[in-house]
């Protein structure tokens, strides 16, 4: 008997030591995403223009990194607070910690090298080497072509600096440890592979982060069998819950019956139309329609053409629950 207790005791100590070693190892060696110091951004007119387009229409950076007025449909981005950050994601809201969206104006980023900003956007590691919470869509931005990533950074360096600082992000254990393993290496899309509308549409859907909301996920891993079938729930400040729609080409429950014109018009309706007032408890959406509405009709058309090619899935969604 004594012998067994001894063995059991040693086993428990062993497990304890191994666990402690694993925790120490992850804590000190992750996230292990090296800086690519050869990454340099050219501040050309062309890069700045392209970056302005991507940030303000496809990537929706300011939907998170600005003050956003959600009494307006899909959130009105306050023009002179673009890039200021400060959207708060608290533990009471169901997040594993307390954090703010960062200030991405030159006030905060002026001392960051191009390589450091590139790593933050495409890998999720900040200047200090800390992992970023994956609400920041680095798992989507990792697909940015090198040219597009450079354009975004060039543009960010030209926006108005806004003085604003927030508390350091804090995460609860064990998520604080898991978070360190989430950053990913960039997988830049090869520009020369974007030869037709469908390929280009797929690229825009990737870097637009559409799947973050439109593909259901389990513990952060997207369900491959439910790609674009919707269902992700987001509680709205004005009351009620919006649910991401099924955007697969299923005829009954998805957007199978939509024409290309209808698709483009649905987005374009919100262009320069970001002041639609939402009554308390009325239909509101976290989908940044007013941002995506700034995409060209050509780009929206490419997105439509790509979405026609994904697997149709039957999944009826009630898009808003009052």
DSSP string, 184-226: ----PPPGGG--SHHHHHHHHHHHTTHHHHHS-EETTEE-GGG
Say which DSSP state 66 is in: S
Shortest Å, Cβ 169 to ligand HEC = 3
Size of the site for ligand HEC (CB under 6 A): 44
Shortest Å, Cβ 95 to ligand HEC = 9
Using rule CB under 6 A, residue 202 touches ligand HEC:
no
From candidates 53, 133, 143, 200, binder to ligand HEC by CB under 6 A: 133
Q: Are 230 and 246 in contact (CB under 8 A)?
A: yes
Q: Are 320 and 73 in contact (CB under 8 A)?
A: no
Per-residue x/- mask for ligand HEC, residues 4 to 43, rule CB under 6 A?
----------------------------------------
Q: Are 122 and 140 in contact (CB under 8 A)?
A: no
- By CB under 6 A, the residues from 149 to 178 that bind ligand HEC are 152, 156, 169
Binding piece for ligand HEC, criterion CB under 6 A, among 40-48, 183-191, 219-227, 238-246: 238-246
Using rule CB under 6 A, residue 143 touches ligand HEC:
no
Using rule CB under 6 A, residue 264 touches ligand HEC:
no
From candidates 39, 52, 57, 61, binder to ligand HEC by CB under 6 A: 61
Query: Which helix H or strand E contains 15, and what residues bound it?
Result: helix 2-29
Using rule CB under 6 A, residue 308 touches ligand HEC:
no
N-to-C CA span, the chain: 63
Using rule CB under 6 A, residue 47 touches ligand HEC:
no
Q: What tokens appear for 37 in the block?
A: 């110091």
In angstroms, rounded to a whole number, what is the distance separating the alpha carbons of residues 67 and 79?
9
Nearer to ligand HEC, 13 or 46 (CB): 46
Q: What tokens appear for 93 in the block?
A: 């809201």
From candidates 41, 77, 120, 278, binder to ligand HEC by CB under 6 A: 120
Using rule CB under 6 A, residue 121 touches ligand HEC:
yes
Say which DSSP state 165 is in: -
Q: How many CB atoms are closer than 10 A to CB 256?
A: 15
From candidates 8, 11, 24, 135, binder to ligand HEC by CB under 6 A: 135
From candidates 41, 159, 236, 247, binder to ligand HEC by CB under 6 A: 247
Residue with tokens 């593909």: 215
Cis amide prior to 319 (ω within 30 degrees):
no
Q: Are 140 and 199 in contact (CB under 8 A)?
A: no
Q: What tokens appear for 155 in the block?
A: 């543009």
**Best CA proximity match to 257, nearest among 215, 307, 219, 209:** 307
Binding piece for ligand HEC, criterion CB under 6 A, among 33-41, 189-197, 217-225, 237-245: 237-245
Residue with tokens 């280009």: 200
Per-residue x/- mask for ligand HEC, residues 214 to 233, rule CB under 6 A?
x-------------------
Residues found in the chain: 322
Using rule CB under 6 A, residue 67 touches ligand HEC:
no
Binding site for ligand HEC (CB under 6 A): 55, 59-61, 63-65, 99, 101-102, 104, 108, 117, 120-121, 126, 132-133, 135-137, 141, 152, 156, 169, 205, 208-210, 212-214, 242-245, 247, 255, 285-287, 292, 303, 319
């Amino acid at each position: 008997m004594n012998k067994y207790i001894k063995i059991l005791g040693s086993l428990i100590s062993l497990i304890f030591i191994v666990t402690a070693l694993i925790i120490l190892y992850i804590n000190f060696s992750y996230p292990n995403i090296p800086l690519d110091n050869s990454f340099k951004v050219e501040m050309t007119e062309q890069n700045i223009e392209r970056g302005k387009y991507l940030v303000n229409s496809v990537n929706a950076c300011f939907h998170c990194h600005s003050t956003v007025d959600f009494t307006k449909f899909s959130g009105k981005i306050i023009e002179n607070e673009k890039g200021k950050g400060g959207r708060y994601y608290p533990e009471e809201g169901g997040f594993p910690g307390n954090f703010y969206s960062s200030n991405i104006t030159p006030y905060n980023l002026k001392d960051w090298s191009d390589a450091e900003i590139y790593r933050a956007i495409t890998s999720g590691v900040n200047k200090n080497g800390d992992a970023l919470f994956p609400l920041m869509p680095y798992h989507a931005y990792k697909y940015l072509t090198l040219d597009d990533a450079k354009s975004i950074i060039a543009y960010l360096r030209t926006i108005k600096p806004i003085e604003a600082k927030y508390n350091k992000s804090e995460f609860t254990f064990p998520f604080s440890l898991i978070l360190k393993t989430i950053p990913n290496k960039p997988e830049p899309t090869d520009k020369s592979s974007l030869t037709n509308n469908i390929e280009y549409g797929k690229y825009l859907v990737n870097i637009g982060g559409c799947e973050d909301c439109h593909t259901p996920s389990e513990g952060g891993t997207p369900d491959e069998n439910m790609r674009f079938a919707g269902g992700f729930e987001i509680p709205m400040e004005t009351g009620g819950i919006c649910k991401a729609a099924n955007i697969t080409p299923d005829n009954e429950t998805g957007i199978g019956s939509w024409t290309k014109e209808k698709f483009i018009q649905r987005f374009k309706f919100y262009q320069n139309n970001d002041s639609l007032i939402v009554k308390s408890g009325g239909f509101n959406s976290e989908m940044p329609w007013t941002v995506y509405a700034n995409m060209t009709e050509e780009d929206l058309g490419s997105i439509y053409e790509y979405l026609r090619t994904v697997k149709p899935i039957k999944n009826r969604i009630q898009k808003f629950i009052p």
